[in-house]
Structure 1
Amino acid sequence: MRNNSLAALAAVACAAAAARGDFLAEVWGNRAMCHHQGTFRVDGQVAQFDLSALAQGTAIHRAVLRAMPRRSDYRATIEIYPLAPDQDEAPPGAKMLALRPPWYNTFDATDAVRSCVAKGEGALRLHMKVAPGWRPEETTLEVAYDGTAKDPTPAVTRLRAVHHDGQTFLTWKEHEDILADCEAVTLENIEKKLLPLRGNREVAYRVYASDAPITAQSLGQAALIAEVPFVVSMYYLDSVRTIEHPNRERGEGPSPLVGGARARRDPVPPYVIAKGEEPLPRGSGLYVRTITRPGKTYYAVVTALNGREAVGRDGLSAANSLRDPVAEQPAPPIPVLQSYQEMKHHDKAHPGWTISTYNYWLEFPYANVPRQLAVATRQLRGLPPGERGELCVNLGSYGSQPAFIARERGGGTVTLCPPWDQDDSILQGRHECLDTLRSYDQGVVHNWAQRRTLALVEWAKREFPVDPNHVTLVGQFALWGLRHPEVFATVISDAYGNFNKGREAQKHGFSWGPYPLGSKNWLGIDQWDHMNVCKWIRDNPKVELPYLVLRPTGASHVGDIGPWAWPELYRALHDTKRAFTARHGGVWSGAPLAGTLMPDKIRRNQSLPAFANCSLDGMPGDGDMSNNGGVGADCDVVADLNGWLLWDTDTIVDEPDRWEITAYLYAGDPKQGRPGAPADTCTADLTPRRCQKFAPMPGQAFQWTNTSLADNQATAGKATADHWGLVTLRNLTITKGKNRIVVSRASR
């Protein structure tokens, strides 16, 4: 009896499939490229599309409302409601049209159109209740339905899939190669061929996915997951050189294809999608999907001309619809190697480096909308087998490309250069509504660039011969790395620790909420509060931080991102007994000596000495940086804190009841042109931090000795662990001849 029922159901399904027409997607509206022109009108807040061309009962597969290209103010939530024929405004409790992921720039009107056509109402009526940025003259409705494909759209060919590292790469041959007569593919040539088509003959490729094979009859049930632009999807546009001072005669300048001023006559390389593969051949299309659940997926690609898809019963074949599913497994995405070159050192005895460039295809949680970003690395050549060195993560600077940073500012055994903060304001995070049609109330602030950087560090640990305990983070806005002592041994940054102060942060205020207010972030914390690193340091005195090097870059001017706000961070670090060194003031004056020499030696799994109150410290004062970072009434032109104090990392003793270290003042290095400390002796306080085994309890008594290794003279004293369980040795004498300092639990 059960088999007979299944047979009957199968027969009904076959009959339904046979009854289905061709797959069509067409556009209603008043724009010149609409297929159903003159079908849109507006009466106040009511918008209406004439859908009389769709017979009652027509199968509707998809309906997409495009009402506004972008928005500049994200305070109000866009509210668009379907209306019944007798309604002029949405009733209380009505359900508004949802935005369509992952781009969130169009609205899903499928249910509304489906209901309208099923009832034979002949028109879709919408209440545009809250619609900032609405452009009625550009408003269109795209409807996919069963119809007759009288003029099928051209088909792509050679569709194939490559899956690796949690991503599926789909490539195909586009239906037309408009660059075929170009000797070289450059931004300039792409612009000449592609831009005239915009507004006249707009071409896109639509990617469909399904758990079942996709045929012309089942295309309507497949999910539309992406719309891929014509021509440019295969090209690594962001690899083209950025130009700080463009010369139009050389073809340099801005391009509508990629941000920034570019060398528009430089060749644009095609993408490589997997290690060991050749670059994509000219005329290819490319889509990359990040997988979120394991399974097997079928894919198809359909050409859309001016938004129109027309697929006849024989319109999908093995050439544009995969016959075998792609076995997919979620995994962290990795950057894909695009090219590499050998870089020589001026010293012929030096082995030189390998500079590699990558592309990183990303979606949530690494970007609020699908993006592709450049990554670069610099690896020291000739490293002995089995040896592991420092991983230096350089966050770059305004306008810089990762490949430039890798070549010009590399450090460590391997330099990792993540993409600069194109979507993450000064590396502090960005609201997920930006560059979409969502509002501040429809999301939170996420730390996109920080997540990408942390993911890249984990990838680099697997990919390169680096010590996972020796990772250094470098960047103007790198203080966020203090929150990740499980990753970074050292952080090198400007001292801009409170983003509530300074003009630069205020300029980016819209990125973090309805300025001057802030939105909640991914942790449920107001973003402005989260960006006050000074407060976080004070609120978490027992959290062990990376060794922190603070140095000025080029923004040393009052009230912007310069030293005016820096003393607040120095005081927070000092008061909570953190291990740091700082240079205050002096545009591009570099790091203090300790910040130059120690990062190469410091490991994350080692204890640190937190120095304070050094007698050789300068005076930062109140940050009044007149005279190009100079002297107010109460501060030094350039003030170093803990700048001359170094220590031996190889001889640290860190045991449950004993802690030892050799500390010293820098004596200088004539070969490197580095002067020594301005005195042979200084006094300073010292607190053991980031201890691996040494774990004092509050109130516990300790004794210490300080032995000069130059003359074996020793001093001794006592100390008591404070309420945080920290033991501070006060007013120690430290010399250029080195001092062995021993702390042990006091005998009873």
Structure 2
Amino acid sequence: LFVATTLVNGSYYYAVTTLINNIENLTIVSGTNSLANAVSETVSKPMPVLQEIRTISNLPIEIYTSFISSKFAADQPLMLKAGFVAVDFSVNRNNASGSNPLRIYFHSGGKDYLESIQKLDGDEVRVNIEDNFPDRTLNSAWWGSNPEYDIYKTTNNVVAPTTGINNNYSQQRVNDIIDWAINQLPIDSNRIYINATSRGSGPAFIYAITYPERIAAVKVNGGIFDFGFYNDWQSTCTLNPEKKNRVEADLRYGTVATNLMCNLGIRTYEALNGGWMIHEYPTRDYPFIYSNNGKMDDVVGWTEKTIFYDSLNRNHLGGYFFWDNRDHGGNTGQTWDNSNFDLYRFRRNVSFPAFAFCSLNEDFGNGNGLTGEDHGTINGALNWSDNIIDNAQTWQIKVFVRNLLDKNDNIIVYPDSCTADVTPRRLQNFPATPDSTLYWQVIHLGQTVQSGSINYQGVLIVIPQVKIFRDTSTLILSTSSQQNYYLDSDSDGFGDPLTFMQASSQPAGYVSSNTDCNDQNSQVHPAAPDICNGIDDNCNGVVDDKAPNAIITPSGSISVCKGTVITLTAGTGPEWQYQWKKGSNNIAGATASSYSTTKTESGSFSVVITAAGGCSATSAATTITRMSLPAAIITSLGNLDICSSGQVTLQATSGSGYKYQWQKNSVNISGATNQNYVATAVGSYKVIVTGSNGCKKTSTVIKVTKSCKLAEAGEVNESEISFFPNPNNGTFDIVLKNFDEENFGTLSIFDLSGRMVYQQQIEISGGEFSRKIKLSDKLGDGVFLVEFITNESKHQQMMVVSK
């Protein structure tokens, strides 16, 4: 198949010649190897020719051949030695019948135009474009070549060209195929996308930078941003001097040092440098670009990526750029896949935000793959809602922080807020007139958190370091200084803080206040009275302001010993009324702010508090569990009258984990902590038993006596008798201490002749007794014996009376 087209309208004859041993036979025989009659031609590009419909994975795949001429215009220098080049592409229509998205795929190295043609995303139409030359070892990198480049025989390309104008004929072929697809396929011209992996990624990116107005968005993996860079940190990088891809590029375009001019009017390695292009032409209609690259990629390198990352920030190119420690094939070190990007959300006729200098961006290092973070992203943690307002007065967008997924669907969490420059890209209706003032503000939760103005000079609109929150910031750019007005759906004079518009005067249905918390209920607004209805009537953030706060102290679950009274206390407030409950039942008469249980009461206790106006609240229940007391009984293992034995063993009740403390006359006996205690003196004995749960019980008193005689000297001193003053005038106070808790005795006073001058029966309660005594006024001065006798002991002490 031979296809050619004229560059000038006219009538033409065509002939075929042969080459034998590289010598062309120019003999022309009319009607044999040439046309007998001229063909009338007009200038027009040759259309792709359908070659076949091939079935792949049960899908009909159309295969076309497109053609590149040696020139595109009569006065143009020769683009390549071949008269024309036939290059194939394939189409998967995906049964499309309407305005479907078109994805153009640049195949990877070693593959061809049928690579993955059967794999589709949703309702897309897919076109795969070939880039292999007749000599299958050669390609144009979907760009073009020098006119001296021999596309038929690689061995003829041995010296890098130093003259001539390089031509991007392969990029123009892509343009032609897009034009054909718009006319021949059921696609939406605003939804044309480019996708590539490996060898096709760099060319796909360069095409989108060169012809940005044709593409809605780009997705590339493992690509190149600057084809002229040759100093990668890995010496084995194929773009470094004398390496495979650098040698091929030198033969195809000339060396970087020579940097020949190209048909675009700039030098070749400027056209092949994305960072240079976006710097020189910052206002072009660039599509959104998604890219994934590896720091350990020695095929297309890493160092030049970091230079481009700096450039995209400084020139506000829109996109998401990810990196990790992967090699070229993603066999090792991969963190990211493509799950954080939706190619098809973008359209050529819809604006989007280009982020730059985001404070969440990780450190990609200095170009050496061993520096910086192992993985990270430029702008990938930022997102926006697609309902963008883009009209003659306003550009408004909602932006927010998002988390990301790694290749295993693990969530990588980012902080809740950040700052970033925001540049509107692909503005449709918002006017950007040079030397005009634009006004901007950032609204978060209904409040303006930033605002400013921009003196627009006709380059890019850059809104600096916008505060972006996870729960959304609304960025508003306007042509005049305007006020926010808020939708007042319920006409109560207060607006919805999240639904607003900017205007120079108040629009109908809008108000300046943004403090309504329910714009669908006219009875709810900041000026409304609060009533007990389970609603925040006055928008102060509190439901039922007057409702009591029903909290019990102590709270939760508590365990106490039987015999302990527990007092539960509730909060107090003006005119509060109380009803205590046990379980679900009211406790009769328990209507105070506190409630005291009995010594044995257990269960769940709560309180219902009712405030003035009828608001009531029920507390959480406090659950009381009662623990059993240990047994505390003393058993005498002998006669309690120790007259003959001199001692008796007292034994307390035994139990698992029991602890003991013996007392005599209500005083702890030092060291007496065993189950048994040997009493050797008269007195009142008891024991305090502590169970394993910590609960204590005190036994009843058991008395040890000695009937054979009065208390011995050592015993007398165990209890105390005192009186004061001494000497006295016949009137004094007497004090008895450390006696049995309940006891009786006789108090007698004798003169030195043995005559009794005073006697009284005394009842001792609680182990102590005190009283004022007045002797007879007739009693003279002298020394007297004071004696106190119980059935267990005898106490004597001398007293002086002096009147």
TM-score, normalised with respect to structure 2: 0.49
- Residues of 1 paired with 2:268 and 2:17: CA distance? 42
**Pair 1:377-2:91 in alignment:** yes
How far apart are residue 703 of structure 1 and its match? Answer: 3.6
**Pair 1:501-2:227 in alignment:** no
CA offsets 1:66-107 (integer angstroms, 9 cap, x no match): xxxxxxxxxxxxxxxxxxxxxxxxxxxxxxxxxxxxxxxxxx
Q: Which residue of 1 aligns with 2:46?
A: 333
Q: Which residue of 1 aligns with 2:195?
A: 474
Q: How does 1:131-530 map to 2 (within 5 A)?
A: 286-299=1-14, 325-342=38-55, 354-365=60-71, 368=80, 369=82, 370-381=84-95, 383=96, 385=97, 387-407=98-118, 413-420=124-131, 422=133, 424-435=139-150, 440=161, 443-475=164-196, 476-477=201-202, 478-480=204-206, 481-493=208-220, 494-497=223-226, 499-502=228-231, 503-504=238-239, 506-507=246-247, 508-513=249-254, 516-530=257-271
How far apart are residue 490 of structure 1 and its match? Answer: 1.6
Match of 2:275 among 534, 543, 563: 534
Amino acid at match of 1:743: L
What SS class does the counterpart of residue 398 from structure 1 fall into?
A: coil
- Residues of 2 paired with 1:299 and 1:697: CA distance? 55
**Unmatched 5+ residue regions in structure 2?**
73-78, 232-237, 240-244, 483-803
Q: Cα gap change, 1:372/1:728 in structure 2, threshold over 3 Å: closer, same or farther?
A: closer
How far apart are residue 529 of structure 1 and its match? Answer: 3.5
- Residues of 2 paired with 1:514 and 1:400: CA distance? 27
How far apart are residue 694 of structure 1 and its match? Answer: 2.2
Amino acid at match of 2:93: Q
Cα contact 1:682–1:733 (8 A) shared by 2 = yes
CA offsets 1:558-589 (integer angstroms, 9 cap, x no match): 5x522111111111111122212101233256
- Residues of 2 paired with 1:321 and 1:744: CA distance? 68
How far apart are residue 449 of structure 1 and its match? Answer: 1.7
Q: Which residue of 1 aligns with 2:520?
A: none
CA offsets 1:113-135 (integer angstroms, 9 cap, x no match): xxxxxxxxxxxxxxxxxxxxxxx
Q: Cα gap change, 1:389/1:740 in structure 2, threshold over 3 Å: closer, same or farther?
A: farther
Cα contact 2:324–2:336 (8 A) shared by 1 = no
How far apart are residue 342 of structure 1 and its match? Answer: 5.0
Q: Cα gap change, 1:731/1:442 in structure 2, threshold over 3 Å: closer, same or farther?
A: closer
- Residues of 1 paired with 2:87 and 2:432: CA distance? 46
Match of 2:367 among 611, 615, 623: 623
Q: How does 1:676-695 map to 2 (within 5 A)?
A: 677-695=413-431
Q: Cα gap change, 1:419/1:605 in structure 2, threshold over 3 Å: closer, same or farther?
A: same
What SS class does the counterpart of residue 344 from structure 2 fall into?
A: coil
CA offsets 1:183-220 (integer angstroms, 9 cap, x no match): xxxxxxxxxxxxxxxxxxxxxxxxxxxxxxxxxxxxxx
Cα contact 2:388–2:397 (8 A) shared by 1 = yes
How far apart are residue 434 of structure 1 and its match? Answer: 1.5
CA offsets 1:690-739 (integer angstroms, 9 cap, x no match): 2123234566444434445xx55553411324545544334434344444
Identity across aligned pairs (percent)? 22
Q: Which residue of 2 aligns with 1:729?
A: 463
How far apart are residue 329 of structure 1 and its match? Answer: 3.1
CA RMSD after TM alignment: 3.8
Match of 2:284 among 543, 556, 581: 543
Match of 1:658 among 386, 391, 394: 394
Cα contact 1:546–1:604 (8 A) shared by 2 = yes
TM-score, normalised with respect to structure 1: 0.52
Q: Which residue of 2 aligns with 1:611?
A: 355
How far apart are residue 471 of structure 1 and its match? Answer: 1.5
How far apart are residue 489 of structure 1 and its match? Answer: 1.8
Amino acid at match of 1:602: F
What SS class does the counterpart of residue 395 from structure 2 fall into?
A: strand
CA offsets 1:630-680 (integer angstroms, 9 cap, x no match): xx2xx111121111322233x222223310112233467999947475344
- Residues of 1 paired with 2:415 and 2:100: CA distance? 34
What SS class does the counterpart of residue 402 from structure 1 fall into?
A: coil
How far apart are residue 451 of structure 1 and its match? Answer: 1.3
Matched residue count: 438
Cα contact 2:218–2:289 (8 A) shared by 1 = yes
Choose 1 or 2 for highest CA Rg.
2
Match of 1:552 among 276, 280, 293: 293
- Residues of 2 paired with 1:701 and 1:593: CA distance? 42
Cα contact 2:87–2:130 (8 A) shared by 1 = yes
Q: How does 1:38-49 map to 2 (within 5 A)?
A: none
- Residues of 2 paired with 1:653 and 1:323: CA distance? 65
How far apart are residue 300 of structure 1 and its match? Answer: 5.8
Q: Which residue of 2 aligns with 1:719?
A: 453
Q: State which drifts further: 664-673 or 497-506.
A: 664-673
Q: Greater relative contact order: 1 or 2 (C-alpha under 8 angstroms, separation 6 or more)?
A: 1
Q: State which drifts further: 458-467 or 539-548.
A: 539-548
**Unmatched 5+ residue regions in structure 1?**
1-285, 345-351, 627-631
CA offsets 1:250-291 (integer angstroms, 9 cap, x no match): xxxxxxxxxxxxxxxxxxxxxxxxxxxxxxxxxxxx433333
Amino acid at match of 1:646: N
Amino acid at match of 1:487: R
Amino acid at match of 1:688: P
How far apart are residue 620 of structure 1 and its match? Answer: 0.8
Q: Cα gap change, 1:401/1:683 in structure 2, threshold over 3 Å: closer, same or farther?
A: same
- Residues of 1 paired with 2:408 and 2:101: CA distance? 21
Cα contact 2:279–2:311 (8 A) shared by 1 = yes
Q: Cα gap change, 1:536/1:667 in structure 2, threshold over 3 Å: closer, same or farther?
A: closer
- Residues of 2 paired with 1:623 and 1:670: CA distance? 23
Cα contact 1:592–1:643 (8 A) shared by 2 = no
Q: Which residue of 1 aligns with 2:474?
A: 740
CA offsets 1:335-366 (integer angstroms, 9 cap, x no match): 2222224556xxxxxxx854222222332248
What SS class does the counterpart of residue 406 from structure 1 fall into?
A: coil
- Residues of 2 paired with 1:410 and 1:637: CA distance? 30
- Residues of 1 paired with 2:449 and 2:99: CA distance? 39
- Residues of 2 paired with 1:746 and 1:593: CA distance? 43
- Residues of 2 paired with 1:657 and 1:594: CA distance? 36
- Residues of 2 paired with 1:678 and 1:594: CA distance? 18
Cα contact 2:210–2:271 (8 A) shared by 1 = no
- Residues of 1 paired with 2:52 and 2:4: CA distance? 22
- Residues of 2 paired with 1:689 and 1:565: CA distance? 25
- Residues of 1 paired with 2:109 and 2:7: CA distance? 33
Q: Cα gap change, 1:295/1:601 in structure 2, threshold over 3 Å: closer, same or farther?
A: same
Q: Cα gap change, 1:600/1:372 in structure 2, threshold over 3 Å: closer, same or farther?
A: same
Q: Cα gap change, 1:434/1:304 in structure 2, threshold over 3 Å: closer, same or farther?
A: closer
